[in-house]
Amino acid sequence: MDGVLIIDKPSGRTSHDIVRDVKKLLGAKKVGHAGTLDPLATGVLAVCINEATKLSQFFLQDDKEYRATMLLGIRTDTLDREGEVVARCEPHLQETEIRETVGGFVGLIEQRAPKYSAVKFRGKPLYKWTRQGVDVEPPLREITVHHISVIEIEMPYVTFDVSCSKGTYIRSLCADIGDRLGCGGCLFDLRRIRSGRFSQEDAISLEDLADGKRLEAIEKNIIPLAEALPGLGTIVVDQDTADRIRRGYQPDCGILRDRSSLLPEREDLIKFVTREGRIVAVAKVFFSPEEFSLMSDGQQAVKILRVLN
């Protein structure tokens, strides 16, 4: 069994817990996830099964969409409601002020990851340094908030939807909004409603994989490897070329000459599939379609990043 299942992660469980449960329920050899969710959070978790684990790195680049509830007036050491309260401030704010401030976080912004996070410092996650009493200041990183809109304000709670780039911490976003409002804030509740092409409408619960429901749930919901990366350009190859790629061949311009119009821009990704629809590999393109006319047939055209059996 190879493919991707979208699990609706319940609150109180780690992403690793879900991977372990799916592996046990399905008896799979290899299971991994694409995009960690904190234990507090619920929602879309892409779980990759067997050969699909080779594709997880490509899902990590995707934009995400969340519905978050922020608690104003409370600052915690973890930036969410599960941490230790470090400051309190009664928020005396108008709704218009809150909406304008939240809207001011759209665009390219700088953000620090929480000190309790898996971001690495000197090869070790920040949360391990923090738990050992070592105060490490996370570096500023650029992230992009594509869209953010306030859904409901019921003081001191503010619920909003946000679409953002990879690497965005909603805990940090809530803390930064709270700081800009002057009262502080932390994340109270979080649900991921979309990760790349995967949405909550695609998600199933762990209970759906229980005995008696398992086969039907898998047949209905598993996403085949060839369909897991729909945004990538597709190059169809014959079985001989597919076998060569699996043995280490890096396709040259001659092989792709008559299909160069199907290629994306330089540095973008494509996938090679067989005529039967089986994915062979994911590769990065060296040249744009326009540049192909200037290249010799024997010149390497792409770099194979992942090969699938």
- With a CB cutoff of 8 Å and minimum separation 6, the contacts of 307 are 54, 245, 246, 280, 281
How far, in Å, CA of 160 to CA of 150, rounded? 4
Q: Is the peptide bond before 91 cis (omega within 30 degrees of 0)?
A: no
pTM for this model (two decimals)? 0.88
Q: What are phi and psi of 260, to 5 degrees?
A: -60, -25
How far, in Å, CA of 62 to CA of 54, rounded? 16
How far, in Å, CA of 114 to CA of 86, rounded? 14
Tens of each residue's pLDDT in the chain, 309 residues: 899 999 999 999 999 999 999 999 888 999 999 988 999 999 999 999 999 999 998 988 889 999 999 999 999 999 999 999 999 999 999 999 999 999 999 999 999 988 888 888 888 888 888 888 888 888 889 999 999 999 999 999 999 999 999 999 999 999 999 999 999 999 999 999 999 999 999 999 988 888 777 888 888 899 999 889 888 888 899 999 999 999 999 998 887 777 766 676 777 898 999 999 899 999 998 887 778 777 888 889 899 999 998
For each of the domains in the chain, give its residue range(s) and CATH number, in order of start: 3-62+197-226 (3.30.2350.10), 64-195 (3.30.2350.10), 232-307 (2.30.130.10)
Give the catalytic positions in this structure.
Answer: 38
